[in-house]
Amino acid sequence: MKLLIINGPNLNLLGTREPEIYGNRTFESYLMELREMLDGVELDYYQSNHEGDIIDALHEADCDGIILNAGAYTHTSLAIADAIKGIQVPVIEVHISNVASREPIRHVSMIGGVCQGTIAGFGLKSYFLAAQAFIIE
């Protein structure tokens, strides 16, 4: 099985940005652990702060499933939602924090309705849970 993780804007700052919400671990350090936990799964990773680059990554994805943390674009991007609708690869939306317990703007997901499902609020473990959802399918 081959999975692709796509992280959106500001997720390159994990470990230093708002550690009280997102923790103090970088994604790269977690990714190494995640690859070990998902032995036998080919796990690719892409991060961009640019909406169009995320859309291109969705369009070009050659994998069995996409784990997408679109960051703030979750709440604003019809373009990313349309890109998800336009591809055949299933997408699971993930969030590190529990977006339902945060500011009201974060309660609305523009992409959730076109994703296979959403996992939120389990910290970096949200990515592992999304991978597991693809594996046990």
> Are 34 and 123 contacting, i.e. CB atoms less than 8 angstroms apart?
no
Residue showing tokens 């070009």: 60
Alpha-carbon distance 128 to 119, whole Å? 10
> Could you confirm whether 59 is annotated as catalytic?
no
Residue showing tokens 């998902």: 38
> Could you confirm whether 75 is annotated as catalytic?
no
Catalytic option among 22, 30, 73, 127: 22
At 70, list the tokens.
């679109």
Catalytic option among 45, 46, 50, 95: 95
At 80, list the tokens.
């990313």
Catalytic machinery residues? 22, 95
